[in-house]
Protein backbone atom coordinates (compact mmCIF):
# COMPACT_ATOMS: atom_id res chain seq x y z
CA UNK A 1 0.00 0.00 0.00
CA UNK A 2 1.10 3.60 -0.49
CA UNK A 3 2.31 5.41 2.60
CA UNK A 4 -0.13 7.27 4.82
CA UNK A 5 0.35 11.02 4.41
CA UNK A 6 0.44 12.52 7.90
CA UNK A 7 0.19 16.10 9.12
CA UNK A 8 0.94 17.05 12.72
CA UNK A 9 -0.71 20.24 13.96
CA UNK A 10 0.80 21.97 16.97
CA UNK A 11 3.80 19.67 17.12
CA UNK A 12 6.14 21.82 19.24
CA UNK A 13 5.15 20.33 22.61
CA UNK A 14 6.07 17.10 24.36
CA UNK A 15 3.31 15.07 22.72
CA UNK A 16 4.19 16.41 19.28
CA UNK A 17 7.82 15.46 19.84
CA UNK A 18 6.79 11.90 20.72
CA UNK A 19 4.63 11.70 17.60
CA UNK A 20 7.54 12.75 15.41
CA UNK A 21 9.83 10.23 17.07
CA UNK A 22 7.37 7.37 16.52
CA UNK A 23 6.09 8.31 13.05
CA UNK A 24 9.53 9.00 11.56
CA UNK A 25 10.23 5.30 12.17
CA UNK A 26 6.79 4.02 11.14
CA UNK A 27 7.15 1.91 7.99
CA UNK A 28 3.82 2.99 6.50
CA UNK A 29 3.94 6.74 7.16
CA UNK A 30 5.24 9.84 5.38
CA UNK A 31 5.06 13.06 7.41
CA UNK A 32 4.07 15.71 4.87
CA UNK A 33 3.40 18.67 7.17
CA UNK A 34 4.06 20.00 10.64
CA UNK A 35 1.98 23.11 11.29
CA UNK A 36 2.37 25.71 13.99
CA UNK A 37 1.55 29.37 14.48
CA UNK A 38 4.70 30.15 16.47
CA UNK A 39 7.60 28.42 14.68
CA UNK A 40 6.96 28.86 10.95
CA UNK A 41 10.08 27.91 8.99
CA UNK A 42 11.86 26.47 12.03
CA UNK A 43 13.40 23.00 11.61
CA UNK A 44 11.59 20.36 13.64
CA UNK A 45 14.96 19.08 14.89
CA UNK A 46 15.81 22.47 16.37
CA UNK A 47 12.68 22.30 18.55
CA UNK A 48 12.91 18.57 19.31
CA UNK A 49 16.65 18.17 19.57
CA UNK A 50 16.51 14.40 20.01
CA UNK A 51 15.57 14.37 16.29
CA UNK A 52 18.82 15.96 15.05
CA UNK A 53 19.93 13.87 12.09
CA UNK A 54 16.52 12.17 11.87
CA UNK A 55 14.56 14.67 9.77
CA UNK A 56 14.95 17.82 7.66
CA UNK A 57 11.26 18.73 8.04
CA UNK A 58 10.43 22.32 8.97
CA UNK A 59 7.36 23.71 10.67
CA UNK A 60 5.02 25.56 8.36
CA UNK A 61 1.41 26.60 7.85
CA UNK A 62 0.28 24.36 4.97
CA UNK A 63 -1.33 20.95 5.53
CA UNK A 64 -0.21 19.55 2.14
CA UNK A 65 -3.21 17.30 1.53
CA UNK A 66 -2.73 14.69 4.27
CA UNK A 67 -4.64 11.45 4.74
CA UNK A 68 -4.76 12.06 8.50
CA UNK A 69 -4.10 15.00 10.81
CA UNK A 70 -2.94 14.58 14.39
CA UNK A 71 -4.10 17.54 16.47
CA UNK A 72 -1.56 18.18 19.26
CA UNK A 73 -3.12 21.45 20.32
CA UNK A 74 -4.03 22.91 23.67
CA UNK A 75 -7.31 21.79 25.16
CA UNK A 76 -10.17 23.74 23.62
CA UNK A 77 -8.23 24.66 20.47
CA UNK A 78 -8.97 21.64 18.25
CA UNK A 79 -12.48 22.87 17.41
CA UNK A 80 -11.00 26.22 16.38
CA UNK A 81 -8.52 24.42 14.13
CA UNK A 82 -11.28 22.40 12.43
CA UNK A 83 -13.30 25.59 11.91
CA UNK A 84 -10.40 27.64 10.53
CA UNK A 85 -8.78 25.10 8.17
CA UNK A 86 -10.04 23.60 4.96
CA UNK A 87 -9.88 19.88 5.68
CA UNK A 88 -11.15 17.53 2.96
CA UNK A 89 -13.93 15.09 3.88
CA UNK A 90 -11.65 12.10 3.20
CA UNK A 91 -8.97 13.36 5.58
CA UNK A 92 -9.19 11.73 8.98
CA UNK A 93 -8.55 13.53 12.27
CA UNK A 94 -7.06 12.14 15.46
CA UNK A 95 -7.39 14.69 18.25
CA UNK A 96 -5.05 14.38 21.23
CA UNK A 97 -6.84 17.13 23.16
CA UNK A 98 -10.11 16.92 25.08
CA UNK A 99 -12.39 18.73 22.62
CA UNK A 100 -14.21 15.65 21.30
CA UNK A 101 -13.90 13.07 24.09
CA UNK A 102 -17.29 13.72 25.67
CA UNK A 103 -19.19 14.97 22.63
CA UNK A 104 -17.79 13.63 19.37
CA UNK A 105 -20.35 15.14 17.01
CA UNK A 106 -18.83 18.23 15.43
CA UNK A 107 -18.74 19.93 12.02
CA UNK A 108 -20.24 16.92 10.27
CA UNK A 109 -17.72 14.56 11.85
CA UNK A 110 -18.27 11.89 14.49
CA UNK A 111 -15.26 11.34 16.72
CA UNK A 112 -15.08 7.88 18.30
CA UNK A 113 -13.54 7.66 21.75
CA UNK A 114 -10.20 6.02 21.04
CA UNK A 115 -9.36 3.77 23.96
CA UNK A 116 -8.34 0.87 21.74
CA UNK A 117 -8.78 -1.86 24.34
CA UNK A 118 -12.43 -0.95 24.91
CA UNK A 119 -13.51 -0.02 21.36
CA UNK A 120 -11.20 -1.76 18.89
CA UNK A 121 -13.98 -2.67 16.42
CA UNK A 122 -15.62 0.76 16.60
CA UNK A 123 -12.30 2.51 15.98
CA UNK A 124 -11.46 0.30 13.00
CA UNK A 125 -14.74 1.40 11.37
CA UNK A 126 -14.47 5.06 12.38
CA UNK A 127 -13.39 8.11 10.42
CA UNK A 128 -12.20 10.37 13.25
CA UNK A 129 -10.91 9.61 16.75
CA UNK A 130 -10.76 11.43 20.08
CA UNK A 131 -7.64 10.15 21.83
CA UNK A 132 -8.11 9.49 25.58
CA UNK A 133 -6.33 11.41 28.30
CA UNK A 134 -3.26 9.95 30.02
CA UNK A 135 -4.74 9.42 33.50
CA UNK A 136 -7.95 8.22 31.82
CA UNK A 137 -5.99 5.56 29.94
CA UNK A 138 -4.11 4.23 32.96
CA UNK A 139 -7.20 4.12 35.17
CA UNK A 140 -9.55 2.62 32.61
CA UNK A 141 -7.09 -0.10 31.62
CA UNK A 142 -6.99 -1.01 35.31
CA UNK A 143 -10.75 -1.52 35.59
CA UNK A 144 -12.02 -2.38 32.09
CA UNK A 145 -12.07 -6.15 32.73
CA UNK A 146 -14.15 -5.56 35.88
CA UNK A 147 -16.54 -3.24 34.05
CA UNK A 148 -16.99 -5.60 31.10
CA UNK A 149 -17.72 -8.51 33.46
CA UNK A 150 -20.20 -6.51 35.55
CA UNK A 151 -17.98 -6.81 38.65
CA UNK A 152 -17.90 -3.17 39.75
CA UNK A 153 -20.39 -3.10 42.61
CA UNK A 154 -19.00 -0.28 44.71
CA UNK A 155 -16.99 2.93 44.56
CA UNK A 156 -13.60 2.90 42.83
CA UNK A 157 -10.71 4.48 44.70
CA UNK A 158 -7.71 5.77 42.75
CA UNK A 159 -4.44 7.38 43.75
CA UNK A 160 -2.22 8.06 40.74
CA UNK A 161 1.03 9.93 40.27
CA UNK A 162 2.26 11.46 37.00
CA UNK A 163 5.52 12.83 35.69
CA UNK A 164 6.08 16.51 35.03
CA UNK A 165 5.67 16.12 31.24
CA UNK A 166 1.97 15.53 31.89
CA UNK A 167 1.62 19.24 32.59
CA UNK A 168 2.88 20.20 29.13
CA UNK A 169 5.94 22.02 27.88
CA UNK A 170 5.05 25.53 28.98
CA UNK A 171 6.70 26.12 32.38
CA UNK A 172 4.62 27.01 35.39
CA UNK A 173 4.93 27.39 39.14
CA UNK A 174 4.34 23.69 39.83
CA UNK A 175 6.22 22.30 36.81
CA UNK A 176 9.68 23.83 36.99
CA UNK A 177 12.59 21.81 38.39
CA UNK A 178 13.04 23.58 41.72
CA UNK A 179 9.40 22.81 42.65
CA UNK A 180 9.20 19.26 41.32
CA UNK A 181 12.58 18.03 42.50
CA UNK A 182 12.32 15.91 45.71
CA UNK A 183 8.66 16.90 45.96
CA UNK A 184 5.17 15.38 45.65
CA UNK A 185 1.88 17.30 45.78
CA UNK A 186 -1.84 16.74 45.27
CA UNK A 187 -3.77 18.68 42.64
CA UNK A 188 -7.36 18.74 41.37
CA UNK A 189 -8.47 16.54 44.26
CA UNK A 190 -11.61 14.55 43.28
CA UNK A 191 -12.14 16.96 40.37
CA UNK A 192 -9.64 16.03 37.65
CA UNK A 193 -10.90 16.72 34.13
CA UNK A 194 -10.31 13.11 33.01
CA UNK A 195 -12.99 11.81 35.40
CA UNK A 196 -15.81 12.71 33.02
CA UNK A 197 -14.44 10.66 30.12
CA UNK A 198 -13.65 7.73 32.44
CA UNK A 199 -17.20 7.65 33.79
CA UNK A 200 -18.74 8.04 30.34
CA UNK A 201 -16.73 5.24 28.77
CA UNK A 202 -17.16 2.83 31.70
CA UNK A 203 -20.90 3.48 31.50
CA UNK A 204 -20.77 2.55 27.82
CA UNK A 205 -18.88 -0.66 28.60
CA UNK A 206 -20.82 -1.80 31.67
CA UNK A 207 -24.18 -0.04 31.50
CA UNK A 208 -23.58 1.65 34.86
CA UNK A 209 -21.59 4.74 35.85
CA UNK A 210 -19.42 4.05 38.91
CA UNK A 211 -18.43 6.55 41.56
CA UNK A 212 -14.68 7.23 41.20
CA UNK A 213 -12.72 8.87 44.00
CA UNK A 214 -9.54 10.11 42.35
CA UNK A 215 -6.50 11.62 44.08
CA UNK A 216 -3.99 12.84 41.43
CA UNK A 217 -0.38 13.49 42.45
CA UNK A 218 2.44 15.46 40.83
CA UNK A 219 5.58 13.34 40.80
CA UNK A 220 9.24 14.33 40.99
CA UNK A 221 10.11 12.54 37.73
CA UNK A 222 9.69 13.41 34.05
CA UNK A 223 7.44 10.75 32.55
CA UNK A 224 5.17 7.89 33.47
CA UNK A 225 1.95 7.28 35.42
CA UNK A 226 1.58 4.85 38.31
CA UNK A 227 -2.06 4.28 39.30
CA UNK A 228 -3.12 2.46 42.45
CA UNK A 229 -6.77 1.40 42.03
CA UNK A 230 -9.04 -0.61 44.32
CA UNK A 231 -12.68 -1.48 44.84
CA UNK A 232 -14.68 -4.10 46.74
CA UNK A 233 -14.18 -7.62 45.47
CA UNK A 234 -17.09 -9.64 44.14
CA UNK A 235 -18.37 -12.50 46.30
CA UNK A 236 -16.69 -15.80 45.54
CA UNK A 237 -13.90 -14.34 43.36
CA UNK A 238 -10.40 -15.51 44.24
CA UNK A 239 -7.13 -13.82 43.33
CA UNK A 240 -6.57 -16.44 40.65
CA UNK A 241 -10.06 -15.75 39.27
CA UNK A 242 -9.20 -12.06 38.94
CA UNK A 243 -5.85 -12.73 37.32
CA UNK A 244 -7.46 -15.11 34.83
CA UNK A 245 -10.12 -12.47 34.09
CA UNK A 246 -7.44 -9.88 33.27
CA UNK A 247 -5.31 -12.21 31.22
CA UNK A 248 -8.32 -13.32 29.16
CA UNK A 249 -9.62 -9.77 28.65
CA UNK A 250 -6.29 -8.56 27.31
CA UNK A 251 -5.33 -11.75 25.48
CA UNK A 252 -5.71 -10.04 22.08
CA UNK A 253 -4.01 -6.80 23.11
CA UNK A 254 -0.45 -6.29 21.84
CA UNK A 255 0.28 -3.74 24.57
CA UNK A 256 -1.55 -4.55 27.82
CA UNK A 257 -0.18 -7.31 30.02
CA UNK A 258 -0.91 -8.69 33.46
CA UNK A 259 2.12 -9.45 35.63
CA UNK A 260 1.99 -11.88 38.55
CA UNK A 261 4.82 -9.92 40.14
CA UNK A 262 4.88 -6.30 41.27
CA UNK A 263 5.42 -3.67 38.58
CA UNK A 264 7.22 -0.34 38.26
CA UNK A 265 7.36 2.63 35.90
CA UNK A 266 10.68 1.81 34.27
CA UNK A 267 9.19 -1.31 32.72
CA UNK A 268 6.94 0.84 30.50
CA UNK A 269 8.64 4.24 30.11
CA UNK A 270 9.32 4.97 26.42
CA UNK A 271 6.88 2.26 25.28
CA UNK A 272 3.22 1.90 24.34
CA UNK A 273 2.74 -0.80 26.97
CA UNK A 274 0.50 -0.89 30.01
CA UNK A 275 1.41 -3.33 32.77
CA UNK A 276 -1.15 -4.40 35.37
CA UNK A 277 -0.80 -6.28 38.65
CA UNK A 278 -3.89 -7.58 40.46
CA UNK A 279 -4.10 -8.64 44.12
CA UNK A 280 -6.95 -9.53 46.47
CA UNK A 281 -6.76 -8.17 50.05
CA UNK A 282 -9.39 -8.43 52.81
CA UNK A 283 -12.38 -8.17 50.51
CA UNK A 284 -10.87 -5.63 48.13
CA UNK A 285 -9.34 -6.13 44.70
CA UNK A 286 -6.34 -3.88 44.03
CA UNK A 287 -4.97 -3.16 40.57
CA UNK A 288 -1.67 -1.41 39.92
CA UNK A 289 -1.43 0.14 36.45
CA UNK A 290 1.64 1.73 34.84
CA UNK A 291 1.99 3.53 31.50
CA UNK A 292 4.18 6.16 29.85
CA UNK A 293 1.98 9.27 29.88
CA UNK A 294 3.46 10.57 26.60
CA UNK A 295 3.26 7.26 24.70
CA UNK A 296 0.42 4.94 25.76
CA UNK A 297 -1.14 7.99 27.42
CA UNK A 298 -0.90 10.17 24.30
CA UNK A 299 1.21 9.82 21.12
CA UNK A 300 1.62 6.04 21.06
CA UNK A 301 -2.08 5.43 21.56
CA UNK A 302 -2.80 7.97 18.81
CA UNK A 303 -0.59 5.97 16.42
CA UNK A 304 -2.29 2.78 17.60
CA UNK A 305 -5.60 4.42 16.65
CA UNK A 306 -4.20 5.44 13.26
CA UNK A 307 -3.14 1.85 12.59
CA UNK A 308 -6.68 0.66 13.30
CA UNK A 309 -8.22 3.38 11.11
CA UNK A 310 -6.06 2.39 8.14
CA UNK A 311 -6.32 -1.38 8.55
CA UNK A 312 -2.75 -1.93 9.70
CA UNK A 313 -1.67 -4.33 12.44
CA UNK A 314 -2.29 -2.50 15.70
CA UNK A 315 1.34 -2.57 16.81
CA UNK A 316 2.90 -1.33 13.55
CA UNK A 317 5.67 1.17 14.31
CA UNK A 318 5.18 0.78 18.05
CA UNK A 319 7.82 -1.78 19.01
CA UNK A 320 9.64 0.54 21.38
CA UNK A 321 12.32 -0.32 23.92
CA UNK A 322 11.64 0.46 27.59
CA UNK A 323 14.20 2.44 29.56
CA UNK A 324 15.03 -0.18 32.20
CA UNK A 325 18.01 1.68 33.67
323 within some domain: no
Q: For residue 315, what pLDDT is reported? A: 98
Asked whether the beta carbons of 261 and 290 are under 8 A apart, the reply is: no
Q: Do 25 and 151 reside in the same domain of the chain?
A: no
Q: Do 48 and 79 reside in the same domain of the chain?
A: yes
Q: Do 146 and 277 reside in the same domain of the chain?
A: yes
Q: Are strands 274-281 and 284-291 parallel, antiparallel or unpaired?
A: antiparallel
CA distances from 180 to 98, 129, 265 (A): 25, 33, 18
Catalytic residue among 72, 91, 116, 134: 134
110 within some domain: yes
Query: Domains in the chain: how many in total?
Result: 2
CATH (domain of 167)? 3.30.360.10
Distance CA(282)–CA(273), nearest Å, equals 30
User: Domain range for residue 111?
Assistant: 4-132+296-309
315 within some domain: no
Q: Do 40 and 152 reside in the same domain of the chain?
A: no
* Ramachandran class of 227: left when φ > 0, alpha when ψ lies in -120 to 50, beta otherwise: beta
Q: Do 99 and 122 reside in the same domain of the chain?
A: yes
Distance CA(236)–CA(256), nearest Å, equals 26
Q: Do 235 and 290 reside in the same domain of the chain?
A: yes
The CB density around residue 66, as the number of other CB atoms within 10 Å, is 22
Per-residue pLDDT tens listing for the chain (325 residues): 699 999 999 989 999 999 999 999 999 999 999 998 777 789 999 999 999 999 999 999 999 999 999 999 988 899 999 999 999 999 999 999 999 999 999 999 999 999 999 999 999 999 999 999 999 999 999 999 999 999 999 999 999 999 999 878 877 888 888 888 999 999 999 999 999 999 999 999 999 999 999 999 999 999 999 999 999 999 999 999 999 999 999 999 999 999 999 999 999 999 999 999 999 999 999 999 999 999 999 999 999 999 999 999 999 999 998 887 7
Q: Do 111 and 146 reside in the same domain of the chain?
A: no
134: annotated active-site residue:
yes
CATH (domain of 100)? 3.40.50.720
Q: Do 71 and 8 reside in the same domain of the chain?
A: yes
Distance CA(26)–CA(9), nearest Å, equals 18
Distance CA(102)–CA(123), nearest Å, equals 16
CA distances from 181 to 53, 135, 136, 219, 223 (A): 32, 21, 25, 9, 13
* Backbone φ and ψ of 217, nearest 5°: -125, 140
229 within some domain: yes
Q: Do 266 and 162 reside in the same domain of the chain?
A: yes
320 within some domain: no
Amino acid sequence: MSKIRVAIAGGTGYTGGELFRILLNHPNVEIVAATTTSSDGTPVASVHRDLIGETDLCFGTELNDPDVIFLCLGHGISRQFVDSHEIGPDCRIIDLGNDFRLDGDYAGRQFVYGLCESARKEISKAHDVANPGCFASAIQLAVLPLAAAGLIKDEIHVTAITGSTGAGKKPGETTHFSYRSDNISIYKLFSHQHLAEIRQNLQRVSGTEPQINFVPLRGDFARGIFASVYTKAADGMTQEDYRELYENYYAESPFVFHSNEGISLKEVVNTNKCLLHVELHDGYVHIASVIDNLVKGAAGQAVQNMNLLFGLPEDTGLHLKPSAF
